[in-house]
């Protein structure tokens, strides 16, 4: 069914069955003049606003908001720094921790060049839990089940 909007109230958008439109046309019903076919919806996130489709802007995040959204807030980052120092002191390494560190460094590098919020700063390569578990295993620390 095509979308129609009301000429006198453009915020009123409805799916009107073609059979209804045909009936109005055949009977010269004045309601037909009240409804205008709406343009196709330009994108899935578009919203109807007073006679037109409006595409809202995509959400944007600061680097700090993005890290938190990805599961790496301030507390988690401090924990990883501590684990990194402990691993280094023990002469050990954690591939997942190194990868997450490179990811956070890349975000920091982007932020230093342009601190404006962005839609996407890059997906975390591993979850915080995965990273900590591997680091603990490298250190020989048993994790409770």
Residues 25-51: tens digit of each pLDDT = 999 999 999 999 999 999 998 999 999
**Residue 1 pLDDT > 70:** no
Instruction: Write out the E strands in the chain.
Output: 3-6, 13-15, 35-37, 47-49, 52-54
Please give the pLDDT value at position 145.
Answer: 65
Residue 61 has pLDDT above 90, yes or no: yes
Could you give the CA distance from residue 93 to residue 140 in angstroms, rounded to a whole number? 12
Domain ranges of the chain: 3-54, 63-139
């Amino acid at each position: 069914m095509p979308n129609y909007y009301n000429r006198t109230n453009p915020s009123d958008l409805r799916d009107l069955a073609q059979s209804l439109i045909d009936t109005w046309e055949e009977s010269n019903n004045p309601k037909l003049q009240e409804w205008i076919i709406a343009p196709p919806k330009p994108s899935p996130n578009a919203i109807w606003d007073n006679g037109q489709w409006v595409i809202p802007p995509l959400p944007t995040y600061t680097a700090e908001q993005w890290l938190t959204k990805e599961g790496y807030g301030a507390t988690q980052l401090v924990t990883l720094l501590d684990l990194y120092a402990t691993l280094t002191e023990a002469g050990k390494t954690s591939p997942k921790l190194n990868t997450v560190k490179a990811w956070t460094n890349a975000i920091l590098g982007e932020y230093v060049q342009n601190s404006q919020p962005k839609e996407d700063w890059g997906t975390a390569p591993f979850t915080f839990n995965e990273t900590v578990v591997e680091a603990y295993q490298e250190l020989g620390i048993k994790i409770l089940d």
